[in-house]
Structures are given as C-alpha cells and as structure tokens.
Amino acid sequence: MDLKKLLSKMTLEQKLAQLTQVNANCLTVGASEDITGPEQEVSLTKADVASAGSTLNFENAAEGIRVQKEHLELDPNKIPLLFMHDVIHGYKTIYPIPLALGASFDTDTVEECCAMASEEMTVGGVHVTFAPMVDLVRDPRWGRCMETTGEDPYLNCDMARAMVRGFQKSGKVAACVKHFAAYGQSESGLDYSATDMSERTLRDFYLPAYKAAIDEGVEMLMTSFNILNGVPSSGNKWLVKNLLRDEWGYDKIVISDYNAFREMKALGFCETEKECAKLAIDATSDIEMMSPCYLQNIPQLINEGVVSEEQIDEAVMRVLRLKEKLGLFEKPYLYADPKAEEEICLCEKHRDIARRAAEKSAVLLKNDNVLPFNKNAVKRVAVIGPFADRVMLGNWLCHGKESEGISALTGIKGLLKNAEVLYSKGCLEGVNESDCSLVEEAKALAKECDAVIICAGEDYKMSGESMSRAELRLSPAQKTLIREVGKVNKNTAVVLFSGRALVLTDIIDDINALVLAWQPGTEGGNAIANLLFGEVNFGAKLPMTFPRSEGQIPAYYNCYRSSRPYEGPYGCWYIDMPKARLFEFGYGLSYTSFEVSAPELSSLTMNKGESIEVSVNVKNVGKMAGETVVQLYIRDDFASLARPNRELKGYKKIFLNAGEAQRVIFTISEEQLKFWSINNKFEAEEGSFTLWVNENGIVNETDGVKFNLLSKK
C-alpha cells in the first residue's frame, strides 16, 4: 500500500477521523438511532462516529466483522478501522492480575500469558491491547496498583519487556504501553490526582519501564490522565515531543486516555476545547480517545495558521503505518474468527497456562507449621469466607466470566476426591462489613474439621480504576471471622485475595498460615488447591511492600537513607509503632528453605566499561523441591547526589530439588550503576558500592560486600 498516495487523496476531515477513536457502543447503536449516554456528553456526532479511524471495547469477533464491513462500505478511502481493547490480564482466559505477575519474578511465565491473551484477542478481532501498564507504584491506596507490576524499576522494566514480547510476538497484535507518565504516583493515592516530582526521581524510578517497552518495540503509547509537574500529559510538549519523540526516538502512535484531551479544561489548563486540541497536537499526540477536540477544532486552527497540516499528516501517517503493518489493508477482518474464538478461548492449554501463572505468583507470607495440608490425611475440610465460592478474576477482566472459572471451593473439592469439603460463607464481602452474624456457623463448622481454609481479603471490584481506598485493612467482619475460627481450629490457613498491598498488622498474629493469592483469575481455585495441599510449592516474592499502617505510606524499599536511621529520640522513627514495614519487597516463604552463601566477587575493583561477576551458592536445605528468587541489591555508597538505601539490580528464579545446590552468577556492568546524575545524564560515578544477595528481600547491613568502581583503564 502506498501510504503517501493514500494520504494525498484524503481531505482534512478524513485525516482527522483517523485521529479519532470512538467507543464500540457508539458503533453498535442502530443506524437510525441517535447517539445517547456518555457519547452524547462528549458531543460526538453520528458523522464523527461513522468516519472514526479506530474503536475500543468490542464484544466479539462476529460483531467486529459486521462493524468493519459497514465501515468499509461507508469509508470513501476504504481505510479499515483499528479495534482496540483493554486486554490487561487475559481476553477470555483470565490469568492473574499484573501485580501478581510481578510477584512471579518469572518473565517466561509472563510472556507466555501475554502470548496466550494475544492469541485469543486475535481471533476475537482485536488488533491493539491497551497493555502493558507499567506505572510504578508506591502507594497501595491507589486502586490501580493491581494493573502494575509493583514498586521496583528494575523488575518493572523486565516485566514490561516480557509483556510486549508476549503480546506482539505473533505480529498480529500491537501492544500499547501506558500511562505516560508517572500516573502511579497519584497524590494521596487518589485516582486522577496530580503528580509532582523532580526530574531526577522521574528519570531514575518512573520512566525506565516505559522506555524498556519502547526499546522492546511496543507499537503504541498512551499518555496519562494526570498533571505532571503542572502540565497534563495529553498536552505536555516537554514529555511527549521533547523527551519521548526527540530524546528517545519514539516515532509510533501516541494515544490519549479516555476523554483526556477535553479533561485538560477541567484540570484548569485549557479554557476551550480548541486550546486542548492545539496543545495536544503541538505535543505530537496522535489519536484522541472519545472526545472530539481535534475533529471540531483543528480545521479552524489550520485556517488561523497556528497548526500546520503537516502536523496532522505526520500523526495520520503513524496511524496508517500501524494499519499497514498489522496487515489490515489486505485483510480488513484480519484474523477475527467467531469459530476459532469459540474453540481457542478457555481451551485446556490456556487454562493450564493461567493455572500455572497463578501458582507461580501466589506468595506464602506466613506459615507456622500449618501448610501444606496433607491431602491423604484430611477427612473433613472447611472452606470458609466471603470469597470461598467466588472466582476472583481481578478487575479489567475483559471478556472473562466468573461462571467460566474455578473458585477456591471448587478447586479444593476437585483435588480432594476422598475428603468431605464443606462450605460456610462466614460474612459478606463489603469493604466495611461489620455484621458478624454468620461467624457462629463458620466456627461450628471449623470445629468439626481437620483443616480450615478462610478465603478473605478484598473483592476484585475494590481495586482498579477509580478504586482508591483510604484504609487498607480487612473488614471488621472478616477480622472477627479469622480470629474466632482460628481460636477453635489451629489448623487454619488464610487465603488472601487482593489487588494491592493491604495492612494486616491487626490480624497477622491471629493467623497461623497466610497465602497471598492476589486476584488469580479463571484458574485461581485450582492453583490455590494445589498450593495449599503441597502439589506445588511457593516461589513468588512481593513486588510491593506491605506497610504496617496506612501512616507509613509511601512504603517502598528503595528509598533514600536517613542521617538518623535509628529508632529512638531524635531518630527517624514513629513514636507510636515500629518503623519496619510488615512485609518487605522481595519477601516470600516456601515449603522448603534455601541457604545463600556469602557473595564472592571476581574482583573487588571494576573499571568503567568493564564488568565483574558476583556469585553465590544457593542450596535447598529443606525436604521439598521448589523455586526461589535469588536477588541482587546494590547501593552506591557515596555519590554527587544521595543514592537509595539499596536497589534491585538483578534476580534469578531458580528451581532446586531437595538437597540440591546451584551456583548463581550475576554480572555487574557499568550500566547497572548508572543514575540521573548532577550532570543531567545517566552515568555511573567512581567510588565505593555495597552489594547484597538474598532470596527473601531481607538485607542485613553487615552482610554487604564492597567493591570499587574506577575510571576507564
């Protein structure tokens, strides 16, 4: 397809239509009906809808094919629509939420999950997924923690790359990295609130994962809703034009978030929609999602000579190039295939991938000799709690349905063929539920059973967009349930469902065994059963710190040092509680134990441009085979700018049989030691560094090993 020729034939209105994205429900209203609902509020006309270049959130392949046909009949240039969707953790087969995937520390699993989602969405007729979401988070009050892979830039970069590879490897799907930039730092944990941070913090912590996705070849990028240092991302020329395009060399599509161009008015940044359009196009934003600022204002802006048609042409070419790359011009329906959609989605192979991902991402947080339960010894098992018979898919569940998934209760019943598995709800789901009237029945059941599983936590509808929480504790009813049941049966394990780090301080001492299952998806119940009964072992670690109290937020491990780190008068402490967080980043237990030897360095000095090796011996000293994550942390001891306490700079997920040992080797290069320096560039500074290697995120200052970075030889 000669795209330049095509562009030269297009009128300005047709070009602007390519830059406009409408919701599927605009396209599915009958031809004679008027536009109603939110679409009317954003004042899109029927003509705008008919000519739009892309759409989001379609139901299925058959509907997509019908709409594409209608569109092509009407479109004078026969340019097919691009279909986009939020395929965040699965299309129909839902795998664990991204935060859980972060906990897996397992990029192969993550890539496999995304490739599976990509296969399903392809036959479902979707061309672009609005994923990966790579916003770094330090505030669990923010509901969208569930969509991120956590608080660490190094891990987030790896996860971003794996997700882009998985989604795009077939060449049939484009991924869209979002939300550029620093949307995860919403002030007070409130969604859509402002972000304010130094350029240094932005560059060192928040930007690397977007860059990693770009370097991996992501085809699209979505700007964020938030104000960043005073400027909304949709119209932020410094962020999009200067940094993303000019500095990073990104020349693909930039799409806005939903209605975000127009929302620059509400943010007090633009007085009119015309101004929104001008700022957005000057920032080189291409597609406008669900608002008509470009359509309705660019012609006038061009007439006034303040926007050039070349700016529009550049944006349109980026859209046409993606349509061409995905093969839409030759095959407008591409691979949309209702029959294949029926066969492939939720097939055994895909369920298997989702189950393994759930097993690999669940974190064992506490275990006082309760787990694993003995599958052959238990005769009566109580499965209790508000989420025991729910399928905890996780928000952004795309076309996933609870009815097609496995609850913990079903999974446990399926595994235990010879035991009686009994259920009691214990209390209702509500975030502040205080009615404890169902607890007595649960207690009575627990008394008569030889193993008890309580499924608690937060409903998956309590995390996601606009789902901020000010308090992160379990509901009063859930706490009573856990306490009371634990009193009558010590052989009780709590399975916690959550889309964020919760505050468990006031209940942790009442729990003998605690499994963090996150929101595990379609196959969650089978994974939970396998983990609780020792069919598989735990190997995941926290990608996000669990604070002791909401008052510790932001709680993250790679913070700066204090001049007075001690607890006590004039120290960096709280007078009303310990400073230590409840569970640190990198923490997670196993049914076996691992010993990690003191790190050995190939050299105690390293010249710039060279590398050194650090190795440890890791031994499985327990009785069961299992995986763990060997973690390398480094601190720049002294620099021209203060550097964090420690930072993850490498990790390896390894599997060891009982008694087996393995030498784990990390290479340290100058790259890992770089930071956004006083000279406003990434560079490593000569001097002393300290490193630690562990497998549970726990660092003792005295275990550190020092090395020196010297100038180039």
- E strand segments, 565-686: 594-596, 600-601, 605-607, 611-620, 626-636, 647-656, 661-669, 675-676, 682-683
Where in 61-90 is the site for ligand BGC (CB under 6 A)?
Answer: 86
Give whichever of 147 and 584 is closer to ligand BGC, judged by the CB atom: 147
Give whichever of 240 and 383 is closer to ligand BGC, judged by the CB atom: 240
Residue 337 found at the interface with ligand BGC (CB under 6 A): no
List the structure tokens of 550: 């909401």
Instruction: Supply φ then ψ for residue 383, to 5 degrees.
Output: -115, 115
**CB proximity list for 679: less than 8 A, separation 6 or greater:** none
Give whichever of 22 and 381 is closer to ligand BGC, judged by the CB atom: 22
Alpha-carbon span 674 to 211, nearest angstrom = 15
Alpha-carbon span 4 to 409, nearest angstrom = 59
Contact 268, 275 (CB under 8 A): no
Q: Least distance from C-beta 131 to ligand BGC, angstroms? A: 8
Q: Least distance from C-beta 490 to ligand BGC, angstroms? A: 44
Q: For ligand BGC, how many residues bind (rule: CB under 6 A)?
A: 7
Give whichever of 54 and 68 is closer to ligand BGC, judged by the CB atom: 54
Alpha-carbon span 124 to 582, nearest angstrom = 43
Would you give the DSSP letter of residue 475?
P
Where in 159-188 is the site for ligand BGC (CB under 6 A)?
Answer: 178
Q: Least distance from C-beta 156 to ligand BGC, angstroms? A: 16
Q: Least distance from C-beta 195 to ligand BGC, angstroms? A: 14
Residue 273 found at the interface with ligand BGC (CB under 6 A): no
Q: Least distance from C-beta 293 to ligand BGC, angstroms? A: 17
Alpha-carbon span 477 to 440, nearest angstrom = 12
One-letter identity of residue 615: S
What's the distance, CA 481 to chain centroid? 31
Residue 56 found at the interface with ligand BGC (CB under 6 A): yes
Alpha-carbon span 656 to 627, nearest angstrom = 6
Give whichever of 267 and 517 is closer to ligand BGC, judged by the CB atom: 267
Please spell the DSSP secondary structure of 233-253, one letter per residue: GGG-HIIIIIIIIIIT---SE
CA 701 to each of CA 218, 574, 614, 620, 628: distance values in angstroms, whole numbers, following the listed order: 39, 21, 18, 24, 22
One-letter identity of residue 9: K
Active site residues: 257
Binding mask 239-268 for ligand BGC (x = CB under 6 A): ------------------xx----------
Q: Least distance from C-beta 98 to ligand BGC, angstroms? A: 12
**CB proximity list for 702: less than 8 A, separation 6 or greater:** none
Give whichever of 236 and 631 is closer to ligand BGC, judged by the CB atom: 236
Position of minimal CB gap to ligand BGC:
130
Give the three-class secondary structure for 156: helix
Give whichever of 222 and 364 is closer to ligand BGC, judged by the CB atom: 222
Q: Least distance from C-beta 124 to ligand BGC, angstroms? A: 16
Q: Least distance from C-beta 56 to ligand BGC, angstroms? A: 6
List the structure tokens of 193: 């609130």
Would you give the DSSP letter of residue 373?
P
Give whichever of 56 and 416 is closer to ligand BGC, judged by the CB atom: 56
Q: Least distance from C-beta 12 to ligand BGC, angstroms? A: 27
- Which is it for strands 600-601 and 611-620: parallel, antiparallel or unpaired? antiparallel
Where in 459-498 is the site for ligand BGC (CB under 6 A)?
Answer: 465
Where in 96-135 is the site for ligand BGC (CB under 6 A)?
Answer: 130
Q: Is residue 578 reached through a cis peptide bond, with omega within 30 degrees of 0 on the bond before it?
A: no
Give whichever of 86 and 458 is closer to ligand BGC, judged by the CB atom: 86
Alpha-carbon span 540 to 179, nearest angstrom = 26
Q: What share of the chain is helix, strand, coil (3-state, %, to 5)?
A: 35, 20, 45
Where in 647-666 is the site for ligand BGC (CB under 6 A)?
Answer: none
Contact 564, 547 (CB under 8 A): no
Q: Which residues bind ligand BGC (CB under 6 A)?
A: 56, 86, 130, 178, 257-258, 465
